[in-house]
Structure formats: structure tokens, C-alpha cells
A = this chain, B = another copy of it.
Amino acid sequence: MSTSPVPVNLSDKLAQFSELWSQKKVAELNDYEVKLAKLKGEFVWHSHEGTDELFLVISGRLTIQLRDGDVVLEPGELFVVPRGVEHCPVADEETAILLFEPAGTINTGDAGGPMTRAAENFG
């Protein structure tokens, strides 16, 4: 390792940004990434043809709308959206989540549009 081994403290990382719908990469595992994001409001309906996508709620409350029903995630709950399944995250209150997915996964998947953003490296 090129740097001293220090853990990633999720609360500390979350305290360092406030933008909504921006994905902050906090760790890498092989060709996968661990990212943090803050959400409020509704995202866009989209799917990822090439990959499953893991959501873990840290604080707040996240509803993942699916075409066949909603999944509601409280803190300490995770859900994997299977590849190809259309979904649309929505959060009534500000919600912090951890995402796990392959590096390069585009947040809006096949939908594109103005909310499309690349993940940012983050300390």
C-alpha cells in the first residue's frame, strides 16, 4: 500500500459534502466502487442493463420504486436492484446511502438526462 492504512468513517465522509444526487467514491474493491450519496426528492426511472446495484441506507428513508411495487429502506437496510430492472429512488426527507456497484456505472443508467453525473473521487 502506498498510504498508511486508515479506515473510511462513513459519518465523517457524509459530513464533508451536502450536494444531493452526487456520488462520492470512498473505496474501491477490485473493479467495484463504494460510493456515498445524499438524496432528497425523486430521481429518474432507469435501469442498468449490465449490472445489479446495491443500496444501503445509512440515515433517512429511501423508497425504491419498482414497476411491480415499492421497496422502503430504513437505516441499516439494504436492497439489490437486479440488472435490467427499472427503478426510481425517491426520498421524502434527506437520506444518506451507500452504493456498491462496478466502477463506471452511470447513475441514470439507460435513461440519461440532466441528472447524469459521474462518481467523484472523495478523499
Contacts and interface: CB of A to CB of B under 8 A. Distances in A.
Interface of A: 1, 4-11, 26-30, 32, 34, 51-54, 58, 64, 66, 68-69, 71-74, 76-80, 82-83, 85, 100-102
Contacts of A29: 51-54, 80, 100-101
Contact of A78 (B34, B77, B80, B102): B34
Please classify the interface of chain A as helix (H, G, I), strand (E, B), loop, or mixed, using the class held by over half of its residues: strand
B69 A9 contact: no
Contact of A27 (B8, B64, B73, B80): B80
Most buried by B among A1, A64, A66, A80: A80
A7 B85 CA distance: 16
Given A5-B69, A8-B77, A29-B100, 10 more contacts: A5-B64, A7-B72, A7-B79, A8-B79, A10-B76, A10-B78, A29-B52, A29-B53, A32-B100, A100-B100
Nearest to A77: B7
